């Protein structure tokens, strides 16, 4: 028999600890997002479909992106125990300068489309967190305005070498004059990947108002208010005649760029130079031998070649081939700080985040990007603690194995590695 009694009002009062309601809607929304996936959900709710899909989508069947994310989910960590790590140091030295965290913000084109604060929010959040920010050639904020948003921190510039070489050279000179310290030369875009969501949505630059976009706008008034009441949404460094992003890329990009272009850019650029979009061991070694300062293993977030190699899978082999002294960075598919920790353990010096940053931006402008960085920072610190390491330098390959569902079959039978 359960013994019952009358409720005691004093005890009841103890239990009733109602929190003061958060009146700032943006803060409430962002605080409730505990993961990057949560930020993506908020972003989707608040952003018109065509803009969200442009960001969230990838090329063709989106297999490159799905597989890259899957590869991170298939990481198995191996913690050490009883190793006191009362504090964790997440800082790194990368390309001749400091970063408070082992990741920076990747270059993304047309960023003010996602949310009107665009690159200024990204650069400001990077400045506050002490990490590098990368401005894209196809950015919607000028080199000088990014510098103003991150005047004392590290700015990197991403270069596309275009058919009209003078445009690219002039941007390189301007970025150098503004004190950007690193150039990321992207080489995986001889032509645009097939971004099918953009085609299906009839998405064009500049965005067109159709019956569909107007209906889609109704539940997202704030995006439209921003769009209509802030400076025109356009590329900061490029004039266009309009079209889909794919058409614009095809018109601007030169499919004949080669090592000769690299030599020209090397002469123009006084700072560090890294090649972004490297996808095999041979090219990694060749680039090291050509004297660049580093590479980014990347398949462009799955937006170019579909079914491309998974950068995270390439990492250990590339690290072995290029040796310890050459800078290897990685991106594509990072959705959790633990993905970053796993990358560092397998030999990455640094990582870049594309969509993780943009989901935060769409979810809440500058504060949303701050939230992205805070979530990743917490996940990195917690994962390091749970692994029993107190600095990034202590991470090693033994901390990570991968479940084999996505491991590639070797090209040649003699290469087969028995795991
Ligand atoms: C919306 C969007 C625009 C991008 N624009 C560029 C660009 O202009 N130049 C470039 O080198 N990479 C660009 N990227 C690729 C990113 O720099 C990065 O490689 C990729 O986003 C990493 O994958 P993740 O989004 O899974 O983090 C873009 C990516 C996205 C999502």
Check residue 206 and report its DSSP letter: S
Contact indicator for 366, 125 with CB cutoff of 8 Å: yes
**Nearest Cα to Cα of residue 158 among 170, 146, 172, 140:** 172
| Contact call for residues 104 and 156 (beta carbons, < 8 A) | yes
Q: Quick one: pLDDT at residue 170?
A: 95
Q: How far is the CA of 415 from the centre of ligand 1 (A)?
A: 32
Band the pLDDT of 247: cuts 50, 70, 90. confident
In the predicted model, what is the mean pLDDT of residues 222-230?
A: 90
Determine the distance separating the centroid of ligand 1 and the alpha carbon of 108, expressed in angstroms: 5
Atom of ligand 1 nearest to the CA of 137: 8
**Is the predicted pLDDT of residue 14 greater than 90, yes or no?**
no
Average pLDDT estimate for 292-299: 98
Instruction: Provide mean pLDDT across the span 195-221.
Output: 85
Nearest CA to ligand 1 atom 6: 108
The reply to whether ligand 1 has any atom less than 6 angstroms from the CB of 158 is yes
User: Which of 1-10, 46-55, 231-240 has the highest mean predicted lDDT (pLDDT)?
Assistant: 46-55
At 205 the pLDDT is 80
Q: What is the pLDDT of residue 8?
A: 87
Q: Is the CB of 331 under 6 A from ligand 1?
A: yes
Over 70: is that where the pLDDT of 166 sits?
yes
Q: Could you tell me if the CB of 354 is within 6 A of ligand 1?
A: yes
Going from the Cα of 299 to the center of ligand 1, the distance in angstroms, rounded, reads 9
User: Per the structure block, which two tokens stand in for 250?
Assistant: 């095809």
Atom of ligand 1 nearest to the CA of 139: 8
pLDDT at site 239: 77
**Calpha distance 247→205 (Å, rounded):** 10
Residue 407 has pLDDT above 80, yes or no: no
pLDDT on residue 212: 81
Task: Output the residue whose Cα is nearest ligand 1's atom 13.
Answer: 108
pLDDT value for 241: 66
Q: What phi-psi label fits residue 242: left (phi over 0), alpha (psi between -120 and 50 degrees) or beta? A: left
Name the strand (E) or helix (H) holding 261. helix 259-268
Report the separation in Å between the CA atom of 358 and the middle of ligand 1, taken as the mean of its atom positions: 10
Task: Report whether residue 304 contacts ligand 1, using a CB cutoff of 6 Å.
Answer: no
Q: Is the CB–ligand 1 distance for residue 355 below 6 Å?
A: yes
End-to-end CA, the chain: 60
- Pocket perturbation via mutation, ligand 1, pick of 236, 300, 357 by most ligand atoms within 8 A of CB: 300
In the chain, what are the domain boundaries?
Answer: 28-394
Q: Does ligand 1 have an atom closer than 6 angstroms to the CB of 136?
A: yes
pLDDT band at residue 419, thresholds of 50, 70 and 90? very low
* Atom 19, ligand 1: residue with shortest CA distance: 300
For the Cβ of 69 lying below 6 angstroms from any atom of ligand 1, the answer is no
- Tell me how far apart the alpha carbons of residues 43 and 329 are, in angstroms, rounded to a whole number: 27
Does position 158 have pLDDT exceeding 80, yes or no?
yes
Taking CA atoms only, the protein residue closest to ligand 1 atom 3 is 108
Decide if pLDDT at 416 tops 50. Answer: no
Instruction: From 107, 161, 193, 245, give the residue whose CB has the most ligand 1 atoms within 8 Å, as the site to mutate.
Output: 107
Which one from 78, 152, 300, 313 is the annotated catalytic residue? 300
Task: Verify whether residue 300 is a known catalytic residue.
Answer: yes
The crossing angle, in degrees rounded to 10, of helices 337-345 and 63-73 is: 80
Residue with tokens 């970025």: 175
pLDDT of residue 414: 53
- Tens of pLDDT, residue by residue over 296-326, are 999 999 999 999 999 999 999 999 999 999 9
Task: Give mean pLDDT, residues 339-356.
Answer: 98
As a whole number of angstroms, the distance between CA 130 and CA 101 comes to 8
d(CA 331, CA 333): 7
Is 116 touching ligand 1 by the criterion CB < 6 Å?
A: no
Ligand 1 centre to CA of 98 (Å) is: 23
User: In the predicted model, is pLDDT for residue 226 greater than 80?
Assistant: yes
171 CB-near residues (< 8 Å, 6+ apart): 137, 143, 157, 159, 237
The one-character DSSP state at 356 is H
Query: Checking DSSP bridges between strand 75-77 and strand 350-353, what pairing results, if any?
Result: unpaired
Q: Under DSSP, is residue 196 helix (H, G, I), strand (E, B) or coil?
A: helix
pLDDT at 418: 42
Sign, CA dihedral 302-303-307-309, equals negative
Interval 241-247 mean pLDDT:
76
Decide whether any atom of ligand 1 lies within 6 Å of the 108 Cβ. Answer: yes
For residue 208, the SS3 value is coil
Q: 3-state class of 51 per DSSP? A: helix
3-state secondary structure of 159: strand
Nearest atom of ligand 1 to the alpha carbon of 353: 27
Residue 71 contacts residue 406 (beta carbons within 8 Å): yes
pTM of this structure: 0.94
Q: Which helix (H) or strand (E) holds 279?
A: none
What's the whole-number average pLDDT of the chain? 93
CATH 3.20.20.70 fits 28-394, yes or no: yes
């Amino acid at each position: 028999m359960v013994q019952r009694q009358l409720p005691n009002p004093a005890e009841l009062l103890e239990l009733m600890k109602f929190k003061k309601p958060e009146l700032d809607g943006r803060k409430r929304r962002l605080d409730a997002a505990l993961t990057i996936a949560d930020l993506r959900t908020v972003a989707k709710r608040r952003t018109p479909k065509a803009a969200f899909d442009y960001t969230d989508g990838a090329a063709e069947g989106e297999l490159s992106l799905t597989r890259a994310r899957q590869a991170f989910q298939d990481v198995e960590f191996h913690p050490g125990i009883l190793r006191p790590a009362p504090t964790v140091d997440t800082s790194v030295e990368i390309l001749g300068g400091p970063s408070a965290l082992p990741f920076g913000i990747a270059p993304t084109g047309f960023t003010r489309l996602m949310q009107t604060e665009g690159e200024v929010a990204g650069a400001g959040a990077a400045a506050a967190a002490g990490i590098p920010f990368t401005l894209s050639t196809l950015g919607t904020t000028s080199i000088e305005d990014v510098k103003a948003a991150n005047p004392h921190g590290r700015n990197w510039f991403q270069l596309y070498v275009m058919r009209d070489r003078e445009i690219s050279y002039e941007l390189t000179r301007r970025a150098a004059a503004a004190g950007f310290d690193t150039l990321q030369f992207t080489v995986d875009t001889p032509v645009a990947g097939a971004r099918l969501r953009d085609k299906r949505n009839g998405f064009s630059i500049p965005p067109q108002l159709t019956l569909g976009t107007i209906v889609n706008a109704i539940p997202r008034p704030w995006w439209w208010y921003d769009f209509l009441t802030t400076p025109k949404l356009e590329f900061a460094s490029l004039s266009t005649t309009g079209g889909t992003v794919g058409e614009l890329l095809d018109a601007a990009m030169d499919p004949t760029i080669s090592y000769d272009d690299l030599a020209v850019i090397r002469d123009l650029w006084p700072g560090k130079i890294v090649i972004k979009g490297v996808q095999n061991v041979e090219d990694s070694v060749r680039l090291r031998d050509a004297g660049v300062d580093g590479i980014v293993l990347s398949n462009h977030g799955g937006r170019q070649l579909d079914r491309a190699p998974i950068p995270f899978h390439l990492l250990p082999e590339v690290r072995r081939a290029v040796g310890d002294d050459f800078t290897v960075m990685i991106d594509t598919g990072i959705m959790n700080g633990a993905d970053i920790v796993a990358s560092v353990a397998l030999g990455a010096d640094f990582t870049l985040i594309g969509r993780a940053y943009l989901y935060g931006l769409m979810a809440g402008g500058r504060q949303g990007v701050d939230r992205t960085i805070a979530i990743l920072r917490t996940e990195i610190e917690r994962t390091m603690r749970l692994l029993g390491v107190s600095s990034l330098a202590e991470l090693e390959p033994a901390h990570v194995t991968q479940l084999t569902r996505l491991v590639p079959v070797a090209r040649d039978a003699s290469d087969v590695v028995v795991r």
